[in-house]
Amino acid sequence: MRKLANLFLILFLVSATLGIANEFLLIFLNLQILSGTEKLIWLTCILIGSLAYLGLGFNKHLPKVILIPLFIWLFWRLLHCWPLENFIGKYFQLYASCGQLLLGIAILKLNRHRNHKSLLLIRSQFVGPAFSGRNLFHFSLISIPLLPIVFMLISYSFTDNLIETNTAGFVQLKPNGLYMTERIYQQGDKQIRLAGMIHLGQKDFYADLAGSIIGARTLILAEGVSDEDGLLTERFGYGKIADLLGLTSQEKVHFQGRLIKAIELDQSDTKELLGPDILRADIDLRQFDPHTREVLNALAKYVLNSESLAAGYFAFNSWAQEHITPDSNRIIMSDLIHKRNQSVLGYLQKALNKYDTIVIPWGALHMKDIEKAVLAEGFALTESRERLSIDFVLLPYGKLWDHLTRAEK
């Protein structure tokens, strides 16, 4: 157990050091070469730290004054050191890593002051029987009430990592809400703005983004699947869910600008481009696989247009068990993500030949592949900003509870 605790102490310091190095590389060189290693060491530190924490109950010699401050820090880091960012700003992770390193050094010095020999735990600190029933009882008495909190923190961290991985960081889950990321890329006098979007969000989120798109020689490559043949038999909209959550539906947001057709990208203008132009760069529903259209119609019928969100979910789940096949996910993702990404990227080069700034405000799940394509064209990330899309504090929890309890009755 002593070796395990020492390994935890070392990983705690290594994680902090890698965090500092990674932040410096991001800030000054815009490089992420250490991000993967840092995350791996951090996850290993959490795993070893969890085992060391359990060891407190079975080995009375483990020094609580040495380990407990580090455990508390781990829990805080699971919350991304919230609300540190609100006070320090975008460099909060650098400050957090520096704080972690200083705490680790202080703990090691405290340990050397206690054993008079080493920064790490030594054998003389573990003399005598390790197990004590009284120690285990006290540990259990304190730990059992903490288990729900620990479970929530781990679940939150897992969900956050899952969202960040699938969206390439264009969505950030924080304790106070859901944030969407916009990244700006530059190559010479050409600029591309990738703005992660969400179907439901605060009205201010959409207004802030729309208000930031100004200036001449700017083109917005807008998303929005068309349905020229009327293949959707059900109205597909998020209005009812938006009303229930006190949010605004993305479909109600309109960017200011002149709507153009794709053919105009090939035309040379004889007059100056005065304001933002808008091109619908998405595909039509007829380009989807019939199975995808069937799923979308069912989703609209059972969930989006249902009077009860909970009842609609169960009804759709029942339908899916009969109609969704093992191959469905591949087909649906190909239609909803890959085909549409190819469409917007197909306009990119022509758009850059005519405009200086290209804005792509698409759903966050699209951004991972779109960003790869932008970087492959030689563009470099120059700026990143976050916008609060859903404020958890403002959600109408009472209204939600009434809705769910009515559905159960």
* Domain residue ranges in the chain: 2-166, 171-408
Which token pair is 394? Answer: 């403002």
Other Cβ atoms within 10 Å of 341 Cβ, number: 19
Whether the CB-CB separation of 140 and 57 falls below 8 Å is answered with yes
Residue 185: partners with Cβ closer than 8 Å, 6 or more residues away: 191, 192, 193, 194, 374, 375, 379, 380, 381, 382
Q: What pLDDT score was predicted for residue 407? A: 58
pTM: 0.86
Q: What pLDDT score was predicted for residue 275? A: 78
Q: What pLDDT score was predicted for residue 101? A: 98
Distance CA 323, CA 25 (A): 49
Name the one residue in this structure whose structure tokens are 């996910």: 329
Q: What pLDDT score was predicted for residue 363? A: 95
Q: What pLDDT score was predicted for residue 301? A: 93
Name the one residue in this structure whose structure tokens are 């989703």: 299
Whether the CB-CB separation of 359 and 182 falls below 8 Å is answered with no
Q: What pLDDT score was predicted for residue 283? A: 97
Q: What pLDDT score was predicted for residue 408? A: 56
Low-confidence ranges of the chain (pLDDT < 50): none
Q: What pLDDT score was predicted for residue 404? A: 77
